[in-house]
Chains A and B, each alone.
Chain A
């Protein structure tokens, strides 16, 4: 009896999560896949016609926000690395006994709703707001200067919102580096730069990899930042998909979703390939 229970244990452990994902992820995903090749409208109903032309239409009509989303995602990821790596590095190596307090500070904005945070950015950056108003009055900036409704505003908002997802995994990777390994590099004649480039950074790569996944993917498919901080020229694919579903253009929304997903998976796999997945995953597993 005990042996039977022991043999069943792994399956029982997986069961709740497995069921949840099946019902709320796999089934809707298949429904969406089916929807993406259907034809029709809300009044007459949708019929499955296996119309692949939906995908072609989606790309021809919406290639612009699609490309923009990928570029925004890339820019956000790059900015998050540039800002997040030094932050994680400082906390991991110079944080001393206050490490956890600093990490908590990084997470603090998460206690405020995502939408509220983004809207408060709008107040900060608005044309006559607390930031730009005085600068314009003082004549530092021209009257026509604006930040909202620019690429910068959306990317800045995305970076702000997703930064902790970059900092945390990099911090974890750096934290796990044996300080003696870095000392060994110095002992073997490495300069500070060489020790960083040859030892610290390669050992932090699994963290950077995880950070890129957790920042780049949600950033590229985000729509809140573009709709709050962006203008008509800053529409992201998330906004388009959202609008398609609101307008009951389900097949178009669904096919766009799958195109985005495919592009993202493609990007991630080639990225992992370039880094050497096995290595990254192996080092990460230790």
Chain B
């Protein structure tokens, strides 16, 4: 992956074999267990994972607040592994903002420029311009605590961006905002990123946020990157069980390959059932494979569907009305439970009731075989 990207130019940020270990109480905690990443110039890149997966530690190593135990961090091709944060050309937007409480909005934003000795006129122009971009013009004299959460968030953004860093690191920046504001800020962040054209590295545990904004996502778990791909691919073709489970709702099947034909493996979970999975070479007849199907890809019908589709029989265990859709829980013959989303487009859609025997079917391409 890293090699393929390097061909297209020097990556903005590159991590090679990065490991971070903490020792304490006589044991070693491995927060990051070997991460290789190449983040392209101008990319909106997300590090996504549950808390404790190493995403924040990874970001802090890029910012320079943590030194890797092993491995190399490069910014624009330059090895910065031992360079302190003050001398790195990246800026950070902290979780809970970390604004200077004793300074006005203006002084907060001007802080970096002052440290770099930017002359007074240019400083004033750049600070005001940046406050304009984040829609805070006229609030220069306010103290951070006099601002709403969303406004503080924008001050934090302005304070970092005004320095025109070559990359901006954002550590769960929307975590403290309520849902409506968070969604508005997601769009706002994406707009600002396009406007300034700076590489954004975004740390979040919120899969929706990562899917909405990112060009690419690195899904992390237990100190390792499980998958690095564009949002669509991460969602549609999760590489591992963990990714499939962490991102969205996912149905996991596990079965023995009955036969292979035309690049499709055929599984027979129960009598009359047939699951078709596209496979690339590796599995042979008799192998066990894991596969996922997203709930919205599955069609629920009373009669057995025709054509070359995957189809399994089951019984409706639960129907949940969600407004725009229905969610069905269907129990299969082997006891496995499958979630199905059905758009609430026609009034006849809710035909299946609790206890009904039904057929579930989906296109072969919607089955996705995973690694372990």
Chain A positions near chain B (C-beta within 8 angstroms):
178, 180-181, 183-191, 194, 198-199, 202-203, 279, 283, 286
Contact = CB atoms under 8 A, between A and B. Distances in A.
Contacts of A185: 100, 111
A186 B102 CA distance: 17
A188 B115 contact: yes
Contacts, number: 65
A194 to B, nearest CB: 6
B96 A187 contact: no
B181 interface: no
Contacts of B111: 185, 188, 190, 198
A217 B364 CA distance: 83
Interface residues of B, number: 24
Interface string B84-126: 1111000110111011111000000001100110000000000
Given A190-B115, A202-B102, A283-B102, A178 B91 contact: no
A187 B115 CA distance: 11
A181 B95 CA distance: 10
B94 A189 contact: no
B96 A279 contact: no
In this complex, the member of A184, A198, A283 whose beta carbon has the largest number of chain B beta carbons within 10 angstroms is: A184
Contacts of B98: 178, 180-181, 183-184
A229 to B, nearest CB: 40
Contact of A188 (B84, B91, B96): B91
A188 B163 contact: yes
A186 B86 contact: yes
Contacts of A191: 86, 115
Contacts of A189: 86-87, 112, 115-116, 163
B65 interface: yes
Contacts of B86: 186-191
A183 to B, nearest CB: 6
Nearest to B112: A188
B338 interface: no
Contact of A184 (B94, B102, B116, B145): B94
Nearest to A180: B98
B118 to A, nearest CB: 11
Nearest to B60: A183
A170 to B, nearest CB: 16
Contacts of B145: 286
A107 B65 CA distance: 35
B63 interface: yes
Given A190-B86, A198-B100, A202-B102, 7 more contacts: A181-B98, A187-B65, A188-B159, A189-B115, A191-B115, A203-B101, A203-B102
